[in-house]
Amino acid sequence: MADERPVPVLEQQVLDLLRNNGTTAFRPKEISRKLNITDHATYQRFLEVLDGLVAADRVTREKGGRLKHRAPERPNQVAGMLQVTAQGHGYVTAEDGRSLFVPPGRFGVALDGDKVRVAVGAMPVEGGRLREAEVLEVLERVRKSTVGTFEKMGHFAFVRPDDPRLPRDVYVADADFNGAKENDKVVVSIDRFDDPKGAPEGRVLEVLGSADDPNVAVLALAMARGVRARFPEQVEQEAEAISVEVPQDEVARRLDLREKPIFTIDPFDAKDFDDAIHVVPLAGGSFEVGVHIADVAHYVREGQPMDGEAYLRGTSVYLVDRTIPMLPEKLSNGVCSLRPNEDKLAFSVIMEVSVRGIVKGYEIRDSVIHSHARLTYEEAQGVIDGAEHPMAEDVRRSNELARVLTKKRMNEGSIDFDVPEVKVILDERGEPVEVIRKERQESNRLIEEYMLLANRIVAEHVGKKLKRPMVYRVHDAPDVERMNNLAEYVKAFGYYLQTEGGVVTRAELNKLLTHFKGHPESLVVETAAIQSMAKAVYSPDNIGHFGLGFSWYSHFTSPIRRYPDLIAHRLLRLYATGQAGPTVEDLRRMSKHLSDREREAAEAERDSVKLKLVEYAAKHLGEVFDGVVVGVTKFGVFVQMTRLLVEGLVHVREMEDDFWQYDPKRYVLVGANSRRVIKLGDPVRVQLVAASTSLRRVDLRFWDGKERPERGYGGRDGRREGKGAPKGARGNPKGGAKAGAKTARRGRRH
């Protein structure tokens, strides 16, 4: 007869057994024998119970899989998530809210992203506010795989991770090469890492292609950030089963807006059209404004494989050479995309807006729409400037009202960040051929203004009117220390930023941006201001949006490419029918995951652009360029080359004409002999002397008219010529995986 002990009973029996045996650790089989578990079904439930107790931090899983009772918390020990920087430092966000600093060498066998238990030191880090900590154990191994370059060494190999937050090369035995060849980019598992003096061990899961292939290099960078490049087969099958025809029963039950003058404005290369608008005059001088959003929730059903995959991805990723969509292309570019001259299901926010930009009323409805024109930003700008178009009157009317909305928003305290985008033009092989700076135009602002309005209305509707749980887009007020640092920074440009104890108002930040607008230093100052701000995140706890100056704000307008918007659509539908939605705690968990995925996607996008910028710079080695100083540090001067639009570093060691001293209060380098001062915004001439794609770094030197040999970089890992691998780097293959791993390259990255 089967043993039918309930899960809670099993949990208590396991805890009692381990608690009564103090610090003794047991294998799962030993525990099951002591508990007299004999049938297969109960044993499987028992294993699930063990996993749950470990995940809940009630039981510790040690080396070799042995389990023991977790001792009560001690004041000097806390659990949290480890985050490692590219420079090799670690930070733990503890469960009690504290942030702790983990110095290099104190990680044990923990990797970036792992849940860890740390011992907290008594003294703060010198010159900082964070207390030091040391990793005692890994509670949960979050990082299960990574992407890197395959380097074969006889009957074993190492995979050198592309992610600088993983300083350990992964050991792979010859039986686990899976067809990988020297210099391939591969996905490698992290199966075992239990010796801090050794290397993680894993298997090649997938071969992406040669590291020398430009397209593979970009894909590898993204996958190193956790970007999921391919859809599982069951997701593709689910997508293929969806009909492209709009169901007539849906048309019958929805608000029919197909006769409205609806149009879209998107980038010229976009295919996923999330949003469309219409603006028509009403009697009395107001306007009917319709913001129409693709009804993704109708097609992506909660709990199905496609929904699960979209949640894991969190967002579409826009790399320099491709888009990795959140949803399969049949939906993102086809069924859901609001393409012109096609009937589409939508979720519409229809507002009455006065000539002064005040929303006098609104309704949120399921709808069916028909876009009558698809314009690019460039085409729309042409229409605004006077070009002919069948919908010219509608576009210009929309733009006039958008101007009113912008002015109203700015008067109410929004900060006007307007950093131009750097775009890399690639040829058919993926090689960079040109770098251009794209300025935002009125056509960009037109669409943004209506999206901001709709997002704001939806947040107010759910949170303020219905008083129901919601995922908000929140942006905290700036940190006092960061604002003090920004004030010191802009002093180097002769500007005084008014602060009161480190508190800076939005009005003062706008004054700062306005002061520098049109000046050469504008980009430097605006970038510094943005970096001084908190990061916007998703949360069910509404604290408002500091940057926009909104008390209520959500993301609703891009469900094809952002999962939080899909959540907003579902919540609106649930609440409209009187149903209960997820709990606040569920929304908090989802918000944390989606904020993390957004951050990683943004980093992947920046990494891909930077890679192509470095490749572009490598074509100009030895050439001399005009530039502007955009950063000054104790180790060198960052210069953006005006024509190339690429940033590089002039290292202090290359500045051989003087002995240089760094003044951190003024952000300047001062020559001890010449008294020459190098400061932010200075125009300079530099020679491009080296470019490393693996390090994504460009090295410059100040041009003095004297030719010198190109310094260059040797090898794919960016080491300079003449610099070999560290002593003992290659290891001894004898003795199998463990011996090879223990003598592997340790801590090679800095």
Q: What is the CATH number of the domain that holds 89?
A: 2.40.50.140
From residue 112, give the alpha-carbon distance in Å to each of 152, 312, 399, 591: 25, 18, 47, 20
Q: What is the b/e burial string over 26-45, where b = at least 16 CB atoms within 10 angstroms of the residue's CB?
A: bebeebbeebebeeeebbeb
Supply the DSSP string of 434-473, one letter for each residue.
EEEEE---HHHHHHHHHHHHHHHHHHIIIIIII-----EE
Q: How many domains does the chain have?
A: 5
Cα distance between residue 143 and residue 672, in whole Å:
48
Domain finish residue from 69, 102, 120: 69
Helix (H) or strand (E) holding 485: helix 480-491
- What is the pLDDT, as a whole number, of residue 147? 94
Question: Is residue 118 domain-shared with residue 60, that is, in the same domain?
Answer: no
222 within some domain? no
418 within some domain? no
Q: What residues make up the domain containing 90?
A: 77-140
Interacting residues of 267 by C-beta distance below 8 A, sequence separation 6+: 376, 377
Closest CA to 178 of 158, 201, 199, 204: 204
532 within some domain? yes
DSSP-H helix ranges across 117-227: 214-224
Name the 3-class secondary structure at 596. Answer: helix
Burial group, residue 357, by CB count within 10 angstroms (0-12, 13-18, 19+):
buried
Residue 124 corresponds to which amino acid? Answer: P
640 within some domain? yes
Task: List beta partners, residue 347.
Answer: 293, 366
Question: Is residue 117 domain-shared with residue 16, that is, in the same domain?
Answer: no
Question: Is residue 133 domain-shared with residue 255, that is, in the same domain?
Answer: no
Two tokens at 503?
Answer: 């508190």
pLDDT, mean over the chain:
87
Rounded to an integer, what is the distance from CA 605 to the centroid of its chain? 8
Cα distance between residue 379 and residue 474, in whole Å:
33
Domain finish residue from 545, 575, 603: 603
pTM for the whole structure: 0.81
253 within some domain? yes
Question: Is residue 332 domain-shared with residue 263, that is, in the same domain?
Answer: yes
Residues of the chain with pLDDT under 70: 1-2, 22, 71-75, 96-97, 122-129, 707-750
207 within some domain? no
Cα distance between residue 488 and residue 373, in whole Å:
49
Question: Is residue 59 domain-shared with residue 82, that is, in the same domain?
Answer: no
248 within some domain? yes
Question: Is residue 471 domain-shared with residue 597, that is, in the same domain?
Answer: yes
3-state secondary structure 23-51: CCCECHHHHHHHCCCCCHHHHHHHHHHHH
Closest CA to 167 of 674, 583, 750: 750
- What is the pLDDT, as a whole number, of residue 326? 97
- What is the pLDDT, as a whole number, of residue 344? 97
Question: Is residue 250 domain-shared with residue 349, that is, in the same domain?
Answer: yes
What single-letter DSSP state applies at residue 532? T
- What is the pLDDT, as a whole number, of residue 71? 62
Question: Is residue 486 domain-shared with residue 546, that is, in the same domain?
Answer: yes
DSSP-H helix ranges across 548-667: 563-576, 584-618
Question: Is residue 495 domain-shared with residue 598, that is, in the same domain?
Answer: yes
592 within some domain? yes
CATH of the domain at 59: 1.10.10
Order of strands across the sheet that contains 156-161: 170-173, 156-161, 145-153, 184-189, 204-210
From residue 685, give the alpha-carbon distance in Å to each of 351, 580, 626, 627, 700: 54, 64, 5, 6, 10
Residue 231 corresponds to which amino acid? Answer: F
Decide: 490 and 482 in contact? Cβ < 8 Å: no
Question: Is residue 341 domain-shared with residue 377, that is, in the same domain?
Answer: yes
Cα distance between residue 704 and residue 121, in whole Å:
50
Q: What is the b/e burial string over 592-608, where b = at least 16 CB atoms within 10 angstroms of the residue's CB?
A: eebbbbbebbebbbebb
Q: What is the pLDDT of residues 485-516, one digit of tens each?
A: 888 888 878 888 988 877 888 999 999 998 88
- What is the pLDDT, as a whole number, of residue 195? 86
Residue 3 corresponds to which amino acid? Answer: D
Cα distance between residue 139 and residue 156, in whole Å:
29
Question: Is residue 563 domain-shared with residue 489, that is, in the same domain?
Answer: yes
Question: Is residue 629 domain-shared with residue 506, that is, in the same domain?
Answer: no
